[in-house]
Amino acid sequence: MKPKQTEQTSAAQVSISLPKRIWDFAKQLLLWLIIALVVTSVMDLWRGKDIPRDNLPPLRGITLAGAEVDITTLSQDQAVLVYFWGTWCPVCNFVSPAVNQLSEHYPVVTVAMGSGEDEKLKKYLQHQGYDFETINDSDNTIARDWSLQATPTIMVFKAGELQYYTTGFTSLPGMWWRMLFA
């Protein structure tokens, strides 16, 4: 009889402690998400501290599809994500799929830095399955004008003004967040 009572007591303890464990896990997850949000926000502010917010150089060019793009004009009525990247950039391999997914819902213009001739870049984009508009900055002229030091670099423009700026890995939720609040 005693073993059955012990088994019953253990089962009751497990069923009572399971909801508590789930609640404790949810609290820890929420705490980690808040910490991550604060850390990434502080990093964004620190990385963007030297980026001027006014008197910015023009950001325009011709995409690989032959369309003229002027970010100031394009961003007048809606937020536009501008993504500086390179085919040679290892971190971009993780960020580009998220940018491509975002491009299905928001205007996105990418600038491929030092990634070779147009045909080579077109083949790369096709192979990867990327559909975003791309300006080929093969000689890094645009990147130099903007004093870019790192790839990937993501900027969000609204009404012709730079709203957000970040470098390094950025997640899809982070990009959505920036686009929603631009």
The residues near 78 (Cβ < 8 Å, ≥ 6 apart) are 106, 107, 158
Task: State yes or no: pLDDT of 5 exceeds 70.
Answer: no
| 41 and 70 part of one domain | no
Average pLDDT over residues 14-33: 82
| 82 and 160 part of one domain | yes
Determine what percent of the chain is predicted with pLDDT higher than 70: 84
| 69 and 159 part of one domain | yes
Q: Minimum mean pLDDT among 4-13, 28-37, 81-90, 142-151: which range?
A: 4-13
- Residue range(s) defining the domain that contains residue 14: 1-47
C-beta separation of 162 from 147 below 8 A:
no
Could you tell me which residues are beta bridge partners of residue 52?
none
Q: Is residue 100 part of a domain?
A: yes
- 134-158 residue pLDDT tens: 999 999 999 988 888 789 999 999 9
| 21 and 100 part of one domain | no
| 25 and 74 part of one domain | no
